[in-house]
Structure 1
């Protein structure tokens, strides 16, 4: 590619989308990676030490560290390509850049890291690149190597680091130097791994932090901990066989859980923070092959390959995730700053290059020689995962997880949506609030919201005082206790889909409002279904009233913006509300408590709140409570995604097959009211 770079104009298609991955061979995935690296060329600094990706957005760290991200994160892919005997015409850009960036005499010197410095994160791909791609170290002079030792090792080994997955980054900084005979600290490497082992919780799962934090998202699997454990097992296994064996054993156990996060269409379930790293969500599976892990039954290498290849092909269809210059943007299916974390710089999305660990796997490995298989026929359609506190489902046409009890250690932007939703779907994605007034801005998809000011501000579940998987008549359910206000307590029971009603799951809420001196206090409630694409297939306008002839629309009609609480748009709660879009499927919600007093409508969510579709609508149930009142809400949530084998006219086939109240639930409600 010329220094001018790629320009995507009106209806432009990125080269990433044009690579033929149908054969599933390593050469095609190598080519896919090159289409990610090529557009970066115009954004290298003169000495190549920094990459300033398009977008002038600021992050919580300095601009130089942001540009260090820009050059180091693509190293995940480039190092895997080179480590697997592949070639790239721009390798010298990185060789020169690493030389200049670590040279204190260079005008483009990166600067030595301070305590808790973002530069420490980027040491991880740099250390890995040194370990697996000899071209870097071999291209350095003695002075260059000394500079690298000082920057990558000496400068970081005595610095404070966050008590999280970050500690793995220092492990790999030392490991990269060690593999090349450079100066490193074995004591620091060992002590960091010993501390990281305190995050282990059992069943193959590690927490992203110490006791008192329950956060097991993609950082526990593909973004950091499991992924790096497997890379360590491969690179240091000969010298540290006991640890390598333990890390492989954990991966074997965890693989049977993690397989439930990926559907047959190639989509993974967006959950938690940093989902803007996109296809990095499948890096765990390539790392299994890289570390020569023996797969646990019933998994096969054809299944593992299928998870990775289908996932990459899915992202090839997401044509809106690119900048006009062809670089990855901050966002998910399209550029979206509302869902971004405060550490997402324009170069951050290139952590996605972890997915290309499969390129470091030899062509003779069964990962590459096996034919792709779908893993789902061999797995149970519903499974409880004790450590993350999830109940997984692959009924109804999508992968879904029910979740309770997880939370980030600090209240990051949109954290209640990233961890506190009741359900997360591979098809519909979660929604984040683009504003702080009204339901339209809060976009409460798969959340129960409370307002005590007439509907301006809303509180949802973020922290739970109790969360556990419990049994009800041989059915696993997820129970949590939480309080949106000091005088309002909620106990929520999440019931997974059943084979008889595969498109429905239940959310049971027992809500108690304490008596208070404010007799006229009124608390509004809003219980949201999944968000769905709000565009019709004829002219792209918002969905109108449901039309049987076109097979799309809403029931009742979406009234408009910022009038969610207008009675004209309501229907009885037991009749519910639904929305159908030809390219997305159908979602809906119904109140099925014995005496429903709630009403249903559709919230026209503010644009860019949902990860997958920029315009969405959310079927929602509404009610209000007064001091001293206790209420049981039983909410049935409908979801039937579109798919290549799903006829449009079948989207609402299950809508009238509403699940009945389980006998155990009827008894629990009756006993409570007695």
Structure 2
């Protein structure tokens, strides 16, 4: 398997560890540089939806997230061990300085080209701007007036063209900041560009520290990692760090810091105690950039509200990096990053992902901007606030964090569940009309897991759709043309009872038909009673004249390999579940008419039809629908964590509605999952599987009893 020495074998605890990791990540790029160093093209043949020139600029610019700091460290720190790490032609840090000169010289054969509207080069200017801000003596060409003029001219093009109305506007802000602070452009020349962009970015602000990636509305309801670590909060903290001394921006810098504090107070919930982030939304090939917010918070000197002190920030960041260091399949055999999440996966990729794109992951190394004298490097890591690991330091964080294991976050419409047995979120309310690949999978599913990830489609057949954690529906007579849940509306939140937190939404699969499905998701308060479970109660409205339909409600996709690396689907399916007290760690798959369960090296995933366990409204009792559970063998490489997966589902078949009136059906699905790290719970799988939630439907509310 691919293994990157210096990263995969790195404890990632100290500043020197991080320097060594950064060197290991960028060193393989050296052999793919152009002769003058302005372009990098990896040895793969895939392409992005923009020019090859812009793609090779990506290869040059994105490593600057660490190159600028490594050059600064090389120039200022005498430590011989660090100097040894940073020297030599195999790394060749100085080539990035020469590359910047060549890439911005219109007379050079390696010139990056003039900009056009919505040009990818605008994105790559962000990293160049940061390199100028953090290490101007290397990158601003103070002693070369021609190179300095070329660089300023090339960067100023970002003000002359339209750009997408989303996080890109922050790149315009940072570029102009670098022009002022590092290239001596008068603030008056560019202030209007900074102010106009910041005003638009302010319109994206939602509440509680969250911004959407563009204006929240019917066309776009996105609050994902771009809201924090990829762009919005990340860039805002960089602005606050470098612009607070500029006249007229002191108040805005403080506003950005205040928002970041509020954002941080809940953002930690997206990370499991293991360090794994809950994957959600687009651009997940940026991988450990999910942790970049914590790096930016420390770099900017952000004082967070207690008890999110520097030790907790340090732990959240370094555990996240360590989790990624344990994923051996994120590299090509030459040591370069591949496109994918936990392994190479082009189904996950967006059309803007070139082979060089994944190096935005290096945003998490912004922490290298803190000098060796910073107290950050000497403080101890604090464990995850909800960690129950025996190896974690037995210190309790101060009161005030809000350590509920279930938390509803209003801006992203997420219920975050941080239980010992499983870290995941329940979602309703996000979607986008933007042409992102797999957008239904990346924003429209019911649940997203730090352990099981989620699946992306390879086609329209059920196995290709890989409908984990979502509803899929097909009409009789139209073949295997499945529709996955998408674009929910009528979002409602509330507490189902003292036992859990709920969120409700409605979905219409086809505009031409009046079928609608209202779903209530319930996260039971965790404890031994219903540990590992969440509930989905569906009310499906089928108008008169609707043809026969088939509907599938999917659980979490789980690795189909055993701990001994055998394929579970090569064994027979058990039709009777083992009794409580049987061998709890036996791996395999089981399915009867009511439920399905898979136990593998990935943990445990199951579903069960709970309709008969919930008392339905009297008017709908005669329309109670009983489902049949099966296990789908998903297409390979659909899941972003495991390349071979099985998906337990409950399916419902509805006859054509030829009656005089409309019909309403209720069905309730119990979804069960335990992550592989939850050793205590894996010892009593069958007991937990048999301890199933019960409840009743009151109006449109779901009550657990």
Among 549, 554, 566, which residue is 1:540 paired with?
A: 566
Q: Contact 2:422 / 2:678 at 8 angstroms: preserved in 1? A: no
Q: Contact 1:333 / 1:612 at 8 angstroms: preserved in 2? A: yes
The separation in 2 between residues aligned to 1:644 and 1:260, in whole angstroms, is 17
The separation in 1 between residues aligned to 2:8 and 2:337, in whole angstroms, is 16
Alignment map for 1:83-232 (pairs within 5 Å): 83=72, 88-89=86-87, 90-134=92-136, 135-138=138-141, 141-153=144-156, 155-183=157-185, 185-212=190-217, 213-232=220-239
The separation in 2 between residues aligned to 1:539 and 1:347, in whole angstroms, is 32
- Mapped pair 1:610 → 2:613: no
Secondary structure of 1:352's counterpart equals: helix
The separation in 2 between residues aligned to 1:614 and 1:16, in whole angstroms, is 26
Q: Contact 2:537 / 2:702 at 8 angstroms: preserved in 1? A: no
Aligned residue in 1 for 2:261? 252
Relative distance call for 1:257 and 1:168 in structure 2 (3 A) is: same
Aligned residue in 2 for 1:600? 629
Aligned residue in 2 for 1:552? 587
Among 584, 589, 596, which residue is 1:577 paired with?
A: 596
> What root-mean-square deviation, in Å, do the aligned CA atoms of Structure 1 and Structure 2 show?
2.0
More moved, 227-236 vs 618-627: 618-627
The separation in 2 between residues aligned to 1:18 and 1:316, in whole angstroms, is 5
The separation in 1 between residues aligned to 2:565 and 2:679, in whole angstroms, is 24
Shift of residue 368, structure 1, vs aligned partner:
2.0
Shift of residue 189, structure 1, vs aligned partner:
1.4
- Mapped pair 1:59 → 2:24: no
Aligned residue in 2 for 1:32? 21
Aligned residue in 2 for 1:506? 535
Among 5, 9, 22, which residue is 1:15 paired with?
A: 5
For structure 2, the residue ranges without an aligned partner over 5 or more in a row are 78-82, 387-396, 398-402, 613-623
Write out per-residue CA displacement over residues 269-303 of structure 1, whole angstroms, 9 at most, x where no aligned residue: 00000011000000101111111111112212111
Shift of residue 670, structure 1, vs aligned partner:
11
- Mapped pair 1:462 → 2:462: no
Q: Contact 1:21 / 1:309 at 8 angstroms: preserved in 2? A: no
Q: Contact 2:421 / 2:678 at 8 angstroms: preserved in 1? A: no
Alignment map for 1:297-336 (pairs within 5 Å): 297-336=306-345
The separation in 2 between residues aligned to 1:211 and 1:341, in whole angstroms, is 21
Aligned residue in 1 for 2:392? none
Relative distance call for 1:297 and 1:670 in structure 2 (3 A) is: closer
Aligned residue in 2 for 1:564? none
Relative distance call for 1:602 and 1:387 in structure 2 (3 A) is: same
Write out per-residue CA displacement over residues 51-90 of structure 1, whole angstroms, 9 at most, x where no aligned residue: 0022211211111001011110111122244456576342
Among 34, 41, 48, which residue is 2:37 paired with?
A: 48
The separation in 1 between residues aligned to 2:675 and 2:150, in whole angstroms, is 54
More moved, 26-35 vs 74-83: 74-83
More moved, 403-412 vs 379-388: 403-412
Relative distance call for 1:16 and 1:609 in structure 2 (3 A) is: farther
The separation in 2 between residues aligned to 1:658 and 1:140, in whole angstroms, is 72
The separation in 1 between residues aligned to 2:560 and 2:587, in whole angstroms, is 10
For structure 1, the residue ranges without an aligned partner over 5 or more in a row are 1-10, 557-570
TM-score, length of structure 2 as denominator length:
0.87
Shift of residue 596, structure 1, vs aligned partner:
5.2
The separation in 2 between residues aligned to 1:20 and 1:413, in whole angstroms, is 34
Q: Contact 1:586 / 1:652 at 8 angstroms: preserved in 2? A: no
Q: Contact 1:16 / 1:316 at 8 angstroms: preserved in 2? A: no
The separation in 2 between residues aligned to 1:670 and 1:35, in whole angstroms, is 52
The separation in 1 between residues aligned to 2:315 and 2:686, in whole angstroms, is 30
Among 437, 442, 467, which residue is 1:413 paired with?
A: 437
Among 58, 69, 83, which residue is 1:69 paired with?
A: 58
Secondary structure of 2:203's counterpart equals: helix
Q: Contact 1:399 / 1:425 at 8 angstroms: preserved in 2? A: yes
Q: Contact 2:625 / 2:652 at 8 angstroms: preserved in 1? A: no
Q: Contact 2:3 / 2:335 at 8 angstroms: preserved in 1? A: no
- Mapped pair 1:634 → 2:657: no
Write out per-residue CA displacement over residues 369-428 of structure 1, whole angstroms, 9 at most, x where no aligned residue: 221112324522111101111111112423211111111341421111100000111010
Relative distance call for 1:670 and 1:236 in structure 2 (3 A) is: closer
Q: Contact 1:641 / 1:651 at 8 angstroms: preserved in 2? A: no
The separation in 2 between residues aligned to 1:539 and 1:366, in whole angstroms, is 44
Q: Contact 2:2 / 2:329 at 8 angstroms: preserved in 1? A: no
Aligned residue in 2 for 1:481? 506
The separation in 2 between residues aligned to 1:539 and 1:208, in whole angstroms, is 40
